Amino acid sequence: MGITIPKEWLYNLEILLLIAIANHHFLLQKVTLKTSTIYT
């Protein structure tokens, strides 16, 4: 009675995860620039 996830779905999930990580990284960069902690 276990739920089976097709292999293709796992692949899609992996892509979504990567996109989420990239977005997070990008957002962090924006926040850093906004708070002006970069020395210029």
Partner 1 sequence: MNRITKIQRRSLFGLLVLTGIGLLTAFTYQAPTLQPKKPLVVFVAGDHEYGGEQTLPLLAAELEKNYGFRVIVLKSYPDQNAEKDIPGLEALRDADLAVFFLRWRQLPPDQLKYIDEYLKSGKPVMGFRTSSHAFNYPAGHESEVWNAFGERAFGTPPGWGKAGHTHYGHNSTTDVAVVEAAAKHPVLTGVNPKFHAASWLYRVRPDYPPKDATVLLMGTSVNPDKAAIENPVAWTWKNKEGAKVFFTTLGHPEDFQQEGMQRMTINAVHWLLDKPVPKKWKGKMDINVPYRGIVK
Residues 1-40 as x/- pattern, contact with partner 1 by CB under 8 A: -----------------------------x--xx-xxxxx
Nearest-5° Cα angle at 19, 33 to 22: 25
Residue among 9 and 26 whose Cβ is closer to partner 1 = 26
- The DSSP result for the chain, as a single string, is -PPP--HHHHHHHHHHHHHHHHHHHHHHHHHHHHTT-S--
CB of 3 to partner 1, least distance (A): 42
Residues engaged in binding partner 1 (CB under 8 A): 30, 33-34, 36-40
